[in-house]
Amino acid sequence: MSHGHGHRYGVNLFNHCLGSLLCALCVLYGAMPTARAADEAPKFQPDTQRGDAMLGEYFRVETAKLESACLDDAALKTWKRQRDTYRKQLLEMLGLDPLPERTPLHATITGKLDHEQFTVEKLHFQSRPGLYVTANLYLPKGLDKPAPAILYVCGHSQQKDGDISYGNKTGYQHHGEWFARNGYVCLTIDTLQLGEIQGIHHGTYREGRWWWNARGYTPAGVEAWNSMRAIDYLQSRPEVDGERIGMTGRSGGGSYTWWTSAIDERIKVAVPVAGMTDMRNQVVGGFPWQYADGCVEGHCDCMFDVNTYRWDFPQVAAMIAPRPLLIENSDKDSIFPIDGVMRLYTKVRSVYELYGARDKLGIQIAEGPHKDTQRLRVGAFEWFERHLKGNKDATITPPAEKLFDRKDLRVFGDTLPADELNTTIDETFTAKAPEPKVPRDAAEWATMRDAWMKDLREKCFRGWPTEEEPLDLKQAFDVTKDGVRFRAYDFTSQGPVRLRLYVAHGAQVDKPELMVLNAMDDTDWRDLLATMRGAFAEQLSGETLPDADGDAWAEAKRMFTGTKWAMAYVAPRGVGSTAWNWSGKKRTQIRRRFMLLGQTFDGMQAYDIRRAAATLRSVDGLAGVPLWMQGERAMAGNVLYASLFTDGVTRLDLWHMPASHRDGPTYLNVMRYMDCPAALALAAERCNVRLYADDAATHAWDYPLNVAKAMKWDGKRVEIRAVPQDTK
């Protein structure tokens, strides 16, 4: 660590209170490093054994909460009355509230294929302008009246030659052909990622697009909307009986069948195949928790909604009741394990019983792995025969088989439409909040503020505990050396999440004049340990320690012994002694588990910062001491949002904070309501804010400055400053 480290924790704190006093405070942290990618492991890696165990228990406990609340006795008593509310919630979690405008489909048939028993129309339509859906429509020959129809949605089957995609509809053609040979009109549609125009399903899975969470975006919503528009198309065809439409598909197609059937009652009969299990299968388990499944690691984002309302998956399935529903799965399916499927079925059954419709719910388990098999197809066909045609004794002939070369089923020629939005639909499918206006007066500001805070509580941080549990504060040590008093306290942030708060100040100080809470990321944590190790190695023996930085400690000691300030340090979950697996892939899947629970990793770190502030106020000698809070990079954003829910903060110092949640930190849905500049304005009403930006001249932060001016707040309430050159 070089001399003059970390002015963000020294000069820039003191200059505005104590002139140039003790710029040596800066040594607590190193020169500002370039921000790392979210999943890039730092060179200094604390041991993860404790963090892994804590995280595994946390996911188990949180999942159990969702599971126990899902379709419990209280919910069942009010199910029929609340069902419309639940549907609206599900639409919102799919990014479909409000529903997009049903614009003209511009359905276009590009060619036809002929078979002795049916014809195939190759077609495309636009579910919204520029969002193309490629499809094959299988039409039985000899129809003398409108026939029942099946919407078939495809699983993940890559069908390509080089750069040419024929669409996964061609991999599942045998389903459409089978239905048509047995008297059904069947529309088989491509998915967003594996269609002829290839979009993205793997935004958080492998593309690092965590801003999908912040935008409230999931490709599951696109697939559900494309399916709803496909039903619109089917109902426009004279060959189709629009009151007898069923839906099925396997794997990804099974998932889309769940979503669409839950929100669109035009689906009269549903047969999702291997497309859903419960939250316990998805979240609990996986490395390093070997006692269960962790199936989220095997699924892309199209399988999940944005779980704002913290549902377990059986609630989605129950939305189909009392319409006929057959749940199909294989007994050796590794990504939809049979135990979770049976738990889901059992819970859904209780809702069907409410309607007196027990006979309309079925389950079929076939032997085998996660694979498209004839045994599963036969069960689906029999279910549709019974509930769409009233045929209880269907004979299934002939077997399903692929009859066409996939090239012949391609809809587009060599040129794809220039106006397609499939490849960029994640940018526009869910609307982000418009640029906020500067309020005209205090009343208008109060309305804006209250609306934002309500949205944050109900849409972004709904996954925070509704009741704060006791801190269970325990002092870990209290030692004085070289005139510096250094102590630590363990506290409960949330359930299994136990964190340690460090406090340091001069031994001569009975009650500090100011307390500064520093929320640390991995880099900050390393620098703190390097600074304090030389004097307090024994007290820090439980940590993985870097080499000591003697120069940093010498300057820190001069700072502590020369002021009446105290510095507190907390490493939120996932940092320091609670760090978890350093593998980039595993850390990605950890973050996705938070997402499934209706939380985000960043959001729960912000909660930890709130709890650390509460802990400080419980420490002897610190109650009532003015509190500052600070952090850098994404952690600065966590500090900012934590302060909005923490009373009594007098100042924030935020370093290198992203100007938009697109770059972090990530909270569910936040960009649908506000972005970082609006949050800064909210904080500025409550306390002084100092933001240190690499480019202080940018207009990215004009909004909080303009609000402060319009509201006639103190001229120093909001300051945007350039990062000192020697700290970059």
Q: With contact defined as beta carbons under 8 Å apart, do 445 and 709 qualify? A: no
Residue with tokens 């402060």: 708
Query: Which of the pair, 462 or 7, is modelled with greater confidence?
Result: 462
Q: Which CATH number fits domain 7-30+461-727: 3.40.50.1820, 3.40.50.170, 3.40.50.360, 3.90.1300.10?
A: 3.40.50.1820
pLDDT at 289: 55
Give the C-alpha separation, 386 to 545, whole Å: 68
DSSP string, 70-131: TT-HHHHHHHHHHHHHHHHHHHHHTT-SSPPP------EEEEEEE-SSEEEEEEEEEEETTE
Better-scored residue on pLDDT, 678 or 37: 678
CB within 8 Å of 458: residues ≥ 6 apart? none
Q: What are the angstrom distances between the C-alpha of 139 and each of 44, 79, 132, 180, 303? A: 63, 39, 22, 6, 30
7-30+461-727 and 89-427: identical CATH topology:
yes
**Predicted TM-score of the model (pTM):** 0.94
89-138 pLDDT per residue, tens: 999 999 999 999 999 999 999 999 999 999 999 999 999 999 999 999 99
Map tokens 């394990």 to a residue. Answer: 337
What whole-number distance in Å separates Cα of residue 190 and Cα of residue 196?
A: 8
Residue 255 scores a pLDDT above 80: yes
Class of domain 89-427: alpha beta
What confidence score (pLDDT) does residue 414 get?
87
For the stretch 584-637, pLDDT in tens is 999 999 999 999 999 999 999 999 999 999 999 999 889 999 999 999 999 999
| Greater pLDDT, 23 or 212 | 212
Q: Which of 214, 167, 171, 212 is nearest to 193 (CA)?
A: 167
Do you know the residue count of the chain? 728
- The pLDDT, as a whole number, for residue 698 is 81
Rounded to an integer, the average pLDDT of 409-431 is 96
pLDDT at 726: 59
Q: How far apart are CA 581 and CA 520, in angstroms?
A: 18
Give the HSE-up count for residue 402: Cα atoms under 13 Å, Cβ half-sphere.
13
Q: Residue 10 — very low, low, confident or very high, per pLDDT cuts 50/70/90?
A: very low
Average pLDDT on 278-288 reads 86
Is residue 496 within 8 Å of residue 54, measured between CB atoms? yes
pLDDT in tens, 658-675: 999 999 999 999 999 999
Q: What is the pLDDT of residues 470-504, one digit of tens each?
A: 999 999 999 999 999 999 999 999 999 999 999 99
Percent of the chain clearing pLDDT 90 (strictly above):
86
Q: What is the mean pLDDT of the chain?
A: 92
- In sequence order, what are the residues at sequence separation of 6 or more whose Cβ sits closer than 8 angstroms to the Cβ of residue 283? 59, 62, 63, 294, 296, 593, 596, 597
Q: What are the residue boundaries of the structural domains of the chain, listed by start?
A: 7-30+461-727, 89-427
Q: How far is the C-alpha of 265 from the C-alpha of 324, rounded, in Å?
A: 11
Residue pLDDT, tens place only, 675-718: 999 999 999 999 999 999 987 678 999 999 999 999 999 988 99
350-359 tens-digit pLDDT: 999 999 999 9
- Residues in a beta bridge with 718: 689
Ranges of beta strands (E only) in 310-421 are 325-330, 361-366
Angle between helices 374-388 and 173-181 (to 10 degrees): 40
In the structure, what pLDDT confidence band is assigned to residue 334 with cuts at 50, 70 and 90?
Answer: very high
What pLDDT is recorded for position 40?
Answer: 54
